[in-house]
Amino acid sequence: MTISLQELSGHVGAQLHGDPGLQVHGIATLQHAKPGDVSFFANPRYRKQLESTAASAVILAADALSFCPAAALVMDNPYLGFARAAAFFAPPQERSVGIHGTAWVSPDAIVHESAWVGPQASVAARARIGQDVLIGPGCVIGEDVVIGQATQLVARVTLCQGVRLGRRGLLHPGVVIGADGFGIANDSGVWVKVPQLGGVRIDDDVEIGANTTIDRGAIEDTVIEQGVKIDNQVQIGHNVRVGAHTAIAGCVAIAGSVRIGKRCAIGGAASIAGHLEIADDVYLTAASEVSKSITRRGIYSSGMPVQENQMWRKNIARFRHLDDLTRRLRRLEDHCGFTQDQD
C-alpha cells in the first residue's frame, strides 16, 4: 500500500515539511526504517536515532524539526500521528462469520448472523451476541451474557454469568470478567463466603489486556465506563468503578469498591487499596501505592527506585529508625537553641 506524503499528512492531521509527491509504503522505527518508510519521533530518548534515520518521512513535533534529516509531518502529538499512520498501513484483518463446527452454542442463546463463534468456544443459555461480534477460539460465554456490536474477544476469554459488554470492545486472551469478588466474613476463625450477587458492566470502546481479571460486584455492579483502556494482568476487585477514558497500565491491582475518576492514568504495577476514591485527571506514576483517597487532580507517586545493593542495605537499615532520627534532630536543635519550624 503506497501513499503520497501529501495524502498521508492529511490523513494523520500533520503539516508537511517536504516533497508532497514523495511516495511511502510502510511504517518502521527510526532505527530500522528504510527509504520508503515513515517513522515517528515522540520520545526524546531516541533523538540520535532521529538524526541518523533513513526513513523518508518522520512524524514529529515542531521542536524536533531541526534534527530531522528527512521529510517531516509536524503535529503537536506525533504519537497520535503514528497511531493514525499505523492504522493506515495495518493489514486488513481476516474476518470470519458463523459458528465453527467445534463450537457449542446453547439453543437458548441468540447469536447475530453476522457474528463469529470460533473453534472450541462455548456460548451458554440466554447469552445474546450482537452484530459483527467476534468470539475467538476457546472463549467461554456464560449464561445471560450480553455482548454489544462489533466487540472482539480474541481467544480464551471467559465471561461469567450475566456480564454485559458494550460495543467495539476488544478483549485479549485470558481475560476473566465476572468471577466472584473476594468477599469473606470471619465466623469464629472460619471464613464464610459472601455471595457475590452483583454483575459487571463494561461500556463501549473498552480494551482489556491479556489475563486481566475484573470481578463481579457483591451487590451492585462493577462498572468500567466508556473508552477505558486496560493493559495486561490488571486485577479489578468487586464494585470498582473506573471512569470514562481512564488508562490503566499492566499489573495494576485495584481492590474492591474503589472509584476511579475520568481521564486518569494509572502507571504499571500500581496498587490501590479498597474503598478509596480517586478524583478525575489523576496521574499515578508506575508502582505507586495508594492508601488514601486522592481528591485533587495532579501527579502522585511513591515507590523506591533501585540503588546499588550495598547502599540500599545501609539506607533501608536507617529507614527503620527514621522516626528516631527525626526525634534526635529535634532534641539536638533544642540543645543548640536553634529550634526550626518544619518547612
Q: Are 258 and 240 spatial neighbours (Cβ–Cβ below 8 Å)?
A: yes
Which position among 34, 47, 48, 318 is part of the footprint of a second copy (CB under 8 A)? 318
Nearest Cα to Cα of residue 139 among 123, 125, 116, 151? 123
Which residue number, 67 or 300, has a Cβ lying nearer to a second copy?
Answer: 300
User: Interface with a second copy includes 113 (CB under 8 A)?
Assistant: no
User: Which one, 62 or 86, has the nearer CB to a second copy?
Assistant: 86
Calpha distance 35→138 (Å, rounded): 42
Question: 72 phi and psi, to 5 degrees?
Answer: -130, 140
> Does 41 help bind a second copy (rule: CB under 8 A)?
no
Q: Which stretch binds a second copy (CB under 8 A): 16-24, 47-55, 63-71, 298-306?
A: 298-306
* Least gap, CB of 21 to a second copy (angstroms): 25
Residue 128 host element (H or E) = strand 128-129
CB of residue 310 vs a second copy: minimum separation in angstroms? 8
In the shown chain, the binding pattern of residues 3 to 32 toward a second copy, with x for contact by CB under 8 A and - for none, equals ------------------------xxx--x
Q: Give 6 or 213: the residue with its C-beta nearer to a second copy.
A: 213
The reply to whether 86 sits near a second copy by the rule CB under 8 A is yes
> Does residue 333 touch a second copy according to CB under 8 A?
yes
Instruction: List the interface residues with a second copy, window 193-222 (CB under 8 A).
Output: 193-195, 197, 207, 209-211, 213, 215, 218-220
User: Is 25 a catalytic site residue?
Assistant: no
Q: Is 285 near a second copy (CB under 8 A)?
A: yes
Instruction: Give the residue, chosen from 237, 240, 260, 261, that forms a contact with a second copy under the rule CB under 8 A.
Output: 237
With a CB cutoff of 8 Å and minimum separation 6, the contacts of 208 are 169, 170, 171, 172, 175, 177, 202, 214, 230
Which grid cell sits at 122? 462455548
Q: Is 325 in the site for a second copy (CB under 8 A)?
A: yes
Q: How many residues bind a second copy (CB under 8 A)?
A: 139
**What's the closest the beta carbon of residue 96 comes to a second copy, in angstroms?**
10
Residues 6+ apart with CB under 8 A from 56: 5, 22, 24, 33, 35, 36, 37, 38, 70, 71
Calpha distance 58→311 (Å, rounded): 43
Regarding 67 and contact with a second copy (CB under 8 A), the answer is no
CA distance to 158, 167, 263, 266, 269, per residue, from 298 (Å)? 36, 31, 12, 12, 19
Residues 159-198 that bind a second copy (CB under 8 A): 160, 170, 172-174, 176, 179-180, 182-187, 189-195, 197
* One of 19, 51, 108, 324 touching a second copy (CB under 8 A): 324
Q: What is the C-alpha separation between 32 and 295, in angstroms, rounded?
A: 45
Coil, strand, or helix at residue 142? coil
User: How far apart (Å, rounded) are the C-alpha atoms in residues 172 and 209?
Assistant: 5
Residue 23 or 307: the one with the smaller Cβ distance to a second copy is: 307
Residues in Cβ contact with 215 at an 8 Å cutoff, skipping those fewer than 6 apart: 178, 179, 180, 181, 182, 196, 200, 222, 236, 237, 238, 256
Q: Does 52 bind a second copy (CB under 8 A)?
A: no
Task: Name the catalytic one among 11, 17, 32, 238.
Answer: 238
- What positions carry a catalytic annotation? 238
